[in-house]
Amino acid sequence: MKTFVYIDHFKGEAQPASWEALGLAKTFGEATALVFGSGVDEMVKAAFGYGADEVLLADDSALLDYRAETYASTLSALASSLSPDLILFPTTTRTREFAAMAAVDLNSNVITDATAVEVSGDTILVTRPIYEAKLFEKVTASGKPQLITLRGRAFPKPEQQEGKTGTITKVDAKTDALTSVEGYSVAEVGVSLNDAGIIVSGGRGVSNNPSLQPPAGLDDKQAEIWKAQQGFKLVGELASVLGGAVGASRAAVDAGYIPYSNQVGQTGKVVAPDLYIAAGISGAIQHLAGIRSAKMVVAINKDADAPIFKVARYGVVGDLFVIVPALTEAFKKKLGK
Ligand SMILES: Cc1cc2nc3c(=O)[nH]c(=O)nc-3n(C[C@H](O)[C@H](O)[C@H](O)COP(=O)(O)OP(=O)(O)OC[C@H]3O[C@@H](n4cnc5c(N)ncnc54)[C@H](O)[C@@H]3O)c2cc1C
């Protein structure tokens, strides 16, 4: 099976789930990594380290910032001339977009968010979650190329081998595009939710600390947001001690407490951490849709009847403004931080 793996990155920082995709590709035979960007030598090295046999490198200043048109045209030109059987991607907002565009050019299709991929002869069997991950469907695909995006943390990440090299083949970038990138309003910094092994999330409850006195001059809405930001500081401190990422419910995002990029759930990010700590989150079905693959859920909520406790392995009924800082202190001591 001739397998290409697209190494997704944000400003030259590879998405770790790309290495999981390379690991899967290696189980089917040789793996060719696709690296698109400008000045991305470190990513090429890493691709070999994580198992790529060959790297197809499109290094061009026009590919410095991600744009769907340039990335999709570069990919479809490559796939048309080299005819891979399978093109794997980590599932990210970018890959969902440009894999679909390339699939149209290639008269093929994209299967998104796979949690298992089996190959038997020319047939590929993909398992993917549907109906908010309440069911898993099996999709059979034939014809080539098949474009499949893989759910983050659903496949093991291979061990990185120091000093491993392979063949680098330079390929042309397709540079005509109708759009240009002026900048990014949201900085993707810190641990990304998609790759996080530990996530600490806050909900509407993070604004509910009656003992906090907001600064003078704020109206009611501004005071609520200020209080919530103090709550999210505590959530962030716990996440930071644990080396994890900060998540949020939609209620917290809609109320302006925290940006949308932190939202977990049906209309936010679907995550699969080893540990998910939910503080001041009730556990609405749309939130739970985003955390079904979490290995362990811990809930902190004042209301013993909150639905989040039904999915939590451990639950603490209490005030998050007491419990979260106490946990941070306890983990600091335990981890020697
Ligand atoms: C189409 C659609 C899509 C949606 N998509 C999403 C999505 O992607 N993600 C998502 O999260 N939601 C989503 N929602 C919204 C969802 O239905 C809920 O409204 C939302 O998840 C509630 O957020 P919450 O738990 O933070 O708030 P609430 O339901 O208001 O819960 C707040 C919780 O905090 C607790 N609390 C309050 N104060 C404290 C305190 N001091 N200490 C401890 N606990 C405290 C309360 O007991 C309560 O349980 C969607 C809704 C729809 C209709």
**How confident is residue 182, by pLDDT bands cut at 50, 70 and 90?**
confident
* Contacts with 302 (C-beta within 8 Å, 6 or more apart), sequence order: 205, 280, 317, 318, 319, 320
Mean pLDDT of 130-155: 92
Q: Is the CB of 315 under 6 A from ligand 1?
A: no
Least confident of 47-56, 94-103, 130-139, 186-195: 186-195
Helix H or strand E segment including 176: none
- Phi and psi (nearest 5°) for 208? -95, 70
Q: Is the CB of 205 under 6 A from ligand 1?
A: yes
Nearest to 24 by CA among 131, 134, 149, 145: 149
166-169 contact pairs (CB < 8 A, 24+): 166/48, 166/52, 166/53, 166/54, 166/55, 167/53, 167/54, 167/55, 168/44, 168/54, 168/55, 168/57, 169/54, 169/55, 169/56, 169/57
**How confident is residue 38, by pLDDT bands cut at 50, 70 and 90?**
very high
Q: How far apart are CA 189 and CA 337, in angstroms?
A: 22
* pLDDT for res 169: 98
Q: Is the CB of 49 under 6 A from ligand 1?
A: no
Q: What are the b/e assignments for 76-98, b being 16+ CB within 10 Å?
A: bbbbeeeebbbbbbbbbebbeeb
286 C-alpha to ligand 1 centroid (Å): 9
Tally Cβ neighbours within 10 Å of residue 243.
Answer: 12
Q: How far apart are CA 199 and CA 187, in angstroms?
A: 18
> Which residue, by CA, sits nearest to atom 19 of ligand 1?
251
Is the pLDDT at 131 greater than 90? The verdict is no
Mean of pLDDT over the chain: 94
Instruction: State the DSSP code for 302.
Output: S
Is the pLDDT at 48 greater than 70? The verdict is yes
272 C-alpha to ligand 1 centroid (Å): 19
260 C-alpha to ligand 1 centroid (Å): 14
* pLDDT for res 12: 86
Is the pLDDT at 103 greater than 80? The verdict is yes
Is the pLDDT at 177 greater than 80? The verdict is no
Q: Is the CB of 192 under 6 A from ligand 1?
A: no
Q: How far apart are CA 95 and CA 9, in angstroms?
A: 10
Is the pLDDT at 1 greater than 70? The verdict is yes
* pLDDT for res 199: 97
* pLDDT for res 186: 57
Is the pLDDT at 208 greater than 90? The verdict is yes
Q: Is the CB of 207 under 6 A from ligand 1?
A: no
**How confident is residue 105, by pLDDT bands cut at 50, 70 and 90?**
very high
Mean pLDDT of 54-68: 94
**How confident is residue 189, by pLDDT bands cut at 50, 70 and 90?**
low
**How confident is residue 187, by pLDDT bands cut at 50, 70 and 90?**
low
* pLDDT for res 7: 98
C-alpha dihedral, 270 to 273 to 275 to 280, nearest 10° = -20
Mean pLDDT of 12-34: 95
Q: How far apart are CA 266 and CA 250, in angstroms?
A: 9
Q: Is the CB of 302 under 6 A from ligand 1?
A: yes
Mean pLDDT of 135-156: 94
268 C-alpha to ligand 1 centroid (Å): 13
Q: Is the CB of 230 under 6 A from ligand 1?
A: no
Mean pLDDT of 292-318: 97
248 C-alpha to ligand 1 centroid (Å): 9
Show the beta-strand stretches assigned E in the chain.
3-6, 9-10, 13-14, 31-37, 54-59, 86-90, 110-114, 116-120, 123-130, 135-141, 146-150, 167-170, 198-202, 245-248, 275-279, 296-301, 314-317
The tens digit of pLDDT for each residue in 284-302 reads 999 999 999 999 999 999 9
